[in-house]
């Protein structure tokens, strides 16, 4: 069971959309995939076909086989859950006290024979980040090709270096993935070049291009991979899935 966490230094980079579509792409390779939503925004459920009126999630139910939802798109997932502010504060206090809670919970899922577990996390330094890093063998940092992402990337890498000092940290590989890349933007090309110069060895060998079909697919409650398999974003995500599968 390979655990991969997707993280970001700032919000609005399309990380949750990418996580959900990547999970579907991996499942299309006859892989058993589980997505765990560690973000209080509770957005993974919107991408994977959960009833919007269902409040269930890991905050109240934990991470156990019986709380796993089956997506109509061929992947399993555990939503974060819709909770009150009081419940959220209590849950986060518990995570602070038990930084390996997710890692320990995942041990109870080994009998389900998942090939991949994808962890979606909130942006920046939150109580959920060490939980993910203590459970995952690989981290994908999702960034945009803009100045704000370039600035936040330096901060998130510094933060990851600090967490790496913790013996509980399991991440062996960290890669930077450019999302929503615009080939027609001079600024995007400049930022991409700057990132390659600064972090070349950490850069994933592909980018995910900006594609209007991604939000359009979500509006129709579909993944872009199913909505239009030939879309640029679909081809990019398939490339990413192939690359990850080849590096087991």
Q: Both tokens of residue 169?
A: 């940290």
- As a whole number of angstroms, the distance between CA 21 and CA 173 comes to 21
Q: Both tokens of residue 66?
A: 């019986």
Q: Both tokens of residue 94?
A: 């518990």
Predicted TM-score (pTM) of the model is 0.93
pLDDT of 159: 87
Answer with the residue of higher pLDDT: 220 or 118. Answer: 118
pLDDT per residue over 60-101, tens digit each?
999 999 999 999 999 999 999 999 999 999 999 999 999 999
Cβ atoms of 139 and 126 closer than 8 Å:
no
Nearest alpha-carbon partner for 158 in 124, 201, 185: 124
Residue 248: pLDDT band (50, 70, 90) is low
What are the φ/ψ torsions at residue 94 (nearest 5 degrees)?
-65, -40
pLDDT per residue over 191-227, tens digit each?
899 989 988 889 999 999 999 999 999 998 889 999 9
Enumerate domains of the chain plus CATH numbers.
Answer: 2-246 (3.40.50.300)
């Amino acid at each position: 069971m390979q655990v991969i966490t997707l993280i970001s230094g700032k919000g609005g980079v399309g990380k949750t959309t990418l996580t959900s579509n990547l999970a579907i792409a991996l499942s299309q390779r006859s892989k058993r995939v589980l997505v765990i939503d560690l973000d209080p925004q509770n957005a993974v459920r919107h991408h994977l076909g959960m009833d919007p009126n269902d409040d269930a999630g890991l905050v109240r139910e934990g991470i156990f086989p019986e709380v796993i939802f089956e997506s109509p798109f061929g992947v399993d997932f555990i939503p974060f859950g819709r909770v009150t502010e009081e419940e959220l504060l209590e849950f986060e206090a518990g995570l602070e006290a038990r930084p390996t809670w997710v890692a320990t919970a995942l041990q109870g899922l080994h009998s389900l024979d998942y090939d991949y577990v994808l962890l979606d996390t909130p942006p920046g330094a939150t109580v959920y980040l060490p939980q993910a890093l203590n459970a995952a063998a690989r981290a994908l940092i999702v960034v945009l090709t803009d100045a704000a992402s370039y600035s936040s990337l330096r901060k998130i890498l510094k933060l990851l270096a600090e967490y790496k000092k913790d013996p509980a940290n399991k991440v062996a590989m960290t890669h930077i993935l450019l999302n929503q890349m615009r080939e027609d933007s001079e600024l995007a090309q400049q930022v991409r070049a700057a990132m390659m110069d600064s972090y070349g060895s950490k850069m994933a060998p592909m980018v995910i291009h900006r594609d209007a079909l991604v939000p359009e697919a979500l509006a129709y409650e579909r993944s872009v991979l199913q909505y239009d398999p030939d879309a640029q974003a679909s081809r990019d995500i398939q490339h990413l899935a192939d690359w990850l599968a080849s590096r087991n």
